[in-house]
Amino acid sequence: MKGTMCGLVKESAAPGKFVYHTDLPIPQINDDEVLIKIHCTAVCGTDLHIMDWDKWSQARIKPPLIPGHETAGDIVEVGKDVRDRKVGDRVSCETHIPCNRCWFCKNGLPHICKDVKLFGVTENGAFAEYAKIRADSTFLLDDDISYETACLFEPMGAGVHGAESAEVAGKTVLVSGCGPIGLTAISASKTFGAKLVIACDLVDERLETAREMGADVVLNSGKCNLVEEIQKLTDGIGVDAAIDITGAEPAISASLRCVRAAGRLVCVGLPTKNVTLDLTNDLIYREVEMTGVSGRKIWDTWTDFETVMKGPYYKLDKVIGRRFALKEFDKALEAIQSGVPGKMILYPWKEPLEV
């Protein structure tokens, strides 16, 4: 497709906001790619890191870049080698674009591919009217899934993957951190049959939402001794599994101590610096397992999120914050910085601020 489009651009290798352009070329697709007319794209913490130009961004991004990776839209063009996608298909996108050649890809682990490319990070993404991506990195949407729900598959998938890695069925589970991904981990844990889900956070409002999305017990870890409370709730044993969404050292350390001996701690949240833990006493002597999850499993987590989303615990309106036109990105940023809960959704084709 020829022509120009609007979009946001990270212009240089330095801290700085994305700049709105109206004359970007529409991406030209390769034979194995599709062109997507973007319906909406959610803002991710990663986008904020890209603006801040932290070490993670410096190691991966070569500006100019169109960021944005949590998206949904309609396929408007397919490359000539693409067999199983067609014009008009509604899709969402997997951020991890695997090489399909390395040992990990060949052994069923493409989400931790050694040579993974990242949509909206190493490749141009979806804060624009159109985006291109390899066809096998798109996920076909059922008719009853809204675009807004669909653009949340990618971020929420990390929460679903966390609950899966914690093997929550029949278990007592602690979810630490009740932002949108934590809320998803909570509703996923309930959907997958956890016996007791305890949620903790520092903000009471977020804990109320956690309760509405399935948490059986909520604890404000800033106002109680979390480890002691967990002991009381579990007959002095500790939880079978804990899922950390915060990435914050004090929270990870507390979660590790909340897990029972021979239990499991799953880390989902990304610490921005090295973390110190008492491995001798909290992990080794107690034979605790500690593991991480990197985004979603391809495509297991996606289909499992459909189950969670259509189940009794998941509440989309609790996970979405506000909606903005793409050109009003700064207002979305202000909302995030002022602590408005939930994901901010950007619409490239809408002129005014909607909600």
# of chain residues touching Zn ion (CB under 5 A)? 8
Quote the least distance from Cβ 23 to Zn ion, whole Å: 27
Residues in Cβ contact with 38 at an 8 Å cutoff, skipping those fewer than 6 apart: 71, 72, 73, 126, 128, 129, 130, 131, 348, 349
What is the rounded CA–CA span in Å between residue 221 and residue 272? 21
Residues in Cβ contact with 194 at an 8 Å cutoff, skipping those fewer than 6 apart: 163, 168, 169, 170, 171, 172, 173
Quote the least distance from Cβ 95 to Zn ion, whole Å: 6
Nearer to Zn ion, 264 or 329 (CB): 329
Quote the least distance from Cβ 127 to Zn ion, whole Å: 12
Strands, E assignment, 202-310: 217-220, 239-244, 259-267, 289-292
Nearer to Zn ion, 41 or 221 (CB): 41
Contact map string, positions 146 to 175, toward Zn ion, x by CB under 5 A: ---------x--------------------
What is the rounded CA–CA span in Å between residue 64 and residue 19? 10
Q: For residues 96-115, which are near Zn ion according to CB under 5 A?
A: 98-99, 102, 105, 113
Q: For residues 80-99, which are near Zn ion according to CB under 5 A?
A: 98-99
Question: By the 8 A CB rule, do 268 and 176 touch?
Answer: no
* Residue 48 found at the interface with Zn ion (CB under 5 A): no
What is the rounded CA–CA span in Å between residue 271 and residue 249? 7
Residue 191 among the catalytic residues: no
Quote the least distance from Cβ 211 to Zn ion, whole Å: 26
Q: Residue 96's beta-bridge partner residues?
A: 118
Residue of 4, 21, 39, 49 marked catalytic: 49
Rule CB under 5 A: choose which of 8, 44, 210, 251 binds Zn ion: 44
Q: Please give the structure tokens belonging to residue 176.
A: 């630490």
| CB-based contacts of 233-240 (< 8 A; 24+ apart in sequence) | 233/172, 233/196, 233/198, 234/172, 234/196, 234/260, 238/263, 239/171, 239/172, 239/173, 239/174, 239/198, 239/263, 240/171, 240/172, 240/173, 240/264
Residue 46 among the catalytic residues: yes
Residue of 39, 41, 46, 95 marked catalytic: 46
Quote the least distance from Cβ 100 to Zn ion, whole Å: 6
Residues in Cβ contact with 229 at an 8 Å cutoff, skipping those fewer than 6 apart: 219
Quote the least distance from Cβ 44 to Zn ion, whole Å: 3
Nearer to Zn ion, 109 or 283 (CB): 109
Nearer to Zn ion, 21 or 117 (CB): 117
Q: Please give the structure tokens belonging to residue 64.
A: 């100019």
Contact map string, positions 176 to 215, toward Zn ion, x by CB under 5 A: ----------------------------------------
Q: List the catalytic residues.
A: 46, 49
List of residues contacting Zn ion (CB under 5 A): 44, 46, 98-99, 102, 105, 113, 155
